[in-house]
Amino acid sequence: MNCIALRHRLHQHPELANVEVDTAARLVEYLSPLSPDNVVTGIGGTGVAVCFGDASAGRTVMLRCELDALPISETNTFDYRSVVAGVSHKCGHDGHMAILAAVAQHYASNRPKTGQVVLMFQPAEETGAGAKAVLADQLSQQFKPDFVFALHNVPKFPLGEVIVKQGTMCCASRGVIIRLTGKTAHAAQPETGISPLKAVHQLLPLFEQLPQLIDSESAFTFATVVGVKLGEKAFGTAPADGEIYVTLRSESNGEMERLVELVSNEVAAVATAHQLSYAIDYEDVFDATVNDEQAVNIISAALTDEPVRITPEPFRWSEDFGQFTRLYRGALFGLGAGEQTPALHNPDYDFPDQLIEIGSRYFIKIIEHCFNQNVN
Ligand SMILES: [Zn+2]
Ligand SMILES: [Zn+2]
C-alpha cells in the first residue's frame, strides 16, 4: 500500500479526539515493516512516535501530525468516503499522517547517519488537549528534539505554497461558558423571581468592545458569541437560568490573559448587580502557536527552491502545536491546498493527495538542513 492508499484508508475510518485507537493501530501496522529504530505507542493516550536514527549521533528533529477527525457528516461520494456516521476527516489530518508516513519511507531506505528523526502522531488536536497530554507523558520525555516542525494544509492558497511567519503563526483561542442563575417565577408575577435576561442583555454588547477595552492593536483580538440560552419554552414560567457561549481569540497569549480577566471581572460585576449567581468555565483552550526565529529561518533556507510566502498575518484559527513550541525550538507552516479546495471543516472538504509528495519533500529538506547545516 502506498501513502495515498494509506490516506484513503485512514479517511474511510475516521475517529474522534482521544479514541483514535484503530487509527494508531493502522499506522503502526503500516510503519512497522519499515523497521524503525524505535516505536513508542500509547503516548498521551493514543499517540505514536516512530523514530529513525540515533539521537547520540547528532540533532533530533521531530515532526508532529494529528490523529483525530471531526464530528462532521461527510457529503462527498467518492469510494473512500467515511464509513462512520457523523465523523469524518475534515481538517486533513489523514493527509498530514500520510505525509509523515512518506517521510518514514524515505528514512527507512536512507537511514539518518547524523541524528534522529522522530515522527510524532499526536491525538486530540481538535480539542486542544492532545499536545498537552503527549508532552506531559513520561513516554515523550525520552525525546529531546533540537527542533520540532509541523504543517497544516490551508485551502484557498496555491497548491504546494508554503505560508510562514516569525512569531505567532496561529492565534490563541478559548471557549467561555458563562452560567447565570437567578430564581424562577410565575410569568404573571415575574417581579417575584430573578431572571438573567437583563444581565444577558448587558453582557452581549460587551464582547464586541473587548479589543478596545484591553487596548489591543491587533486585528485578531475578538470575541464571537456562538450561543445564548435563556429559560425554556414554558409560557407560565419566567426563567432562572441563562447561558452565554463565547469564543475569545487573540494574537498573543498575553492578550488572551487580559481578555479572560476582563470577561471574568465583567461577568462578576453584572451578575452581582442583578443578584444572580454565576459560574465561568473554559473549553477548547488553545495557546497561540508561536514560531521560533531560528526554526523559521531553517524553513526559509531549506526551501529556497520552493514557493515560500512570508506572511505578515497569522492564521486566525488555533492549533495546539503551540504547546510544542513553548518547550522546543520549532515552527508550524501552512501548506497551500489549492484555491478550489473547500475550506477546512466544511462537509465537502477532502485533503488533496498531491500534497503528500509535496509535504514530505519539504519536510525531508528541512530535516536534512537541520542535520547538515551549522544551525544553532
Ligand atoms: Zn481542524
Ligand atoms: Zn487541523
DSSP per-residue letters across 15-43? --TT--HHHHHHHHHHHGGG--SEEEEEE
265 Cα to the center of ligand 1, angstroms: 31
Closest to 72 in 3D by CA, of 279, 347, 364? 347
Give the distance (Å) from ligand 1 centre to CA of residue 126. Answer: 6
> What span, in angstroms and rounded, lies between the C-alpha atoms of 195 and 124?
38
What pTM, to 2 d.p., does this model score? 0.93
> At a CB cut-off of 8 Å and minimum separation 6, what does 374 contact?
none
Which residue numbers in the chain have pLDDT < 50?
none
Contact at 8 Å (CB) between 330 and 349? no
Q: Residue 288: helix, strand or coil by DSSP?
A: coil
* Span 50-96, pLDDT tens digits: 999 999 999 999 999 999 999 999 999 999 999 999 999 999 999 99
Q: How far is the CA of 126 from the centre of ligand 2 (A)?
A: 7
What pLDDT is recorded for position 376? Answer: 57
**Cα(215)–Cα(205) distance, integer angstroms:** 17
The H-or-E segment that residue 44 falls in is none
Distance from the alpha carbon of residue 344 to the mean position of ligand 1, in angstroms: 7
**Ligand 1 center to residue 11 CA distance, Å?**
14
Ligand 2 centroid to residue 349 C-alpha, Å: 12
Q: How far, in Å, is the centroid of ligand 2 from the Cα of 94?
A: 10
CA 309: distance to chain centroid?
Answer: 21
**Could you give the C-alpha distances from 137 to 128, 140, 147, in angstroms and in order?**
16, 6, 19
Alpha carbons 186 and 192: distance in angstroms, whole number: 8
Tell me the CA–centroid distance for residue 125 and ligand 1, in Å. Answer: 8
Q: Ligand 1: distance of its center to the CA of 43 in Å?
A: 21
Distance CA(369)–CA(112), nearest Å, equals 12
Cα 167 to ligand 1 centre (Å): 21
Q: How close is the Cα of 93 to the center of ligand 2, in Å?
A: 6
How does pLDDT run across 244-286, given as a tens digit for each residue? 999 999 999 999 999 999 999 999 999 999 999 999 999 999 9
What does 106-172 look like in DSSP terms, one character per residue? Answer: HHHHS--SSEEEEEEEES-TTTT-HHHHHHHSGGGGG---SEEEEEEEETTS-TT-EEE-SEEEE-E
C-alpha cell at 113: 547517519
Is beta strand 167-170 parallel, antiparallel or unpaired with respect to 289-291? antiparallel
Using the mean position of ligand 1's atoms as its centre, give its distance from the Cα of residue 161 in Å: 19
Copy the grid coordinates of residue 228.
445564548
Contact present, 87 and 14 (Cβ < 8 Å): yes
Q: How far away, in angstroms, is 70 Cα from ligand 1 center?
A: 7
CA 106 to ligand 1 centroid distance, Å: 27
Nearest-ligand number for the alpha carbon of 126: 1
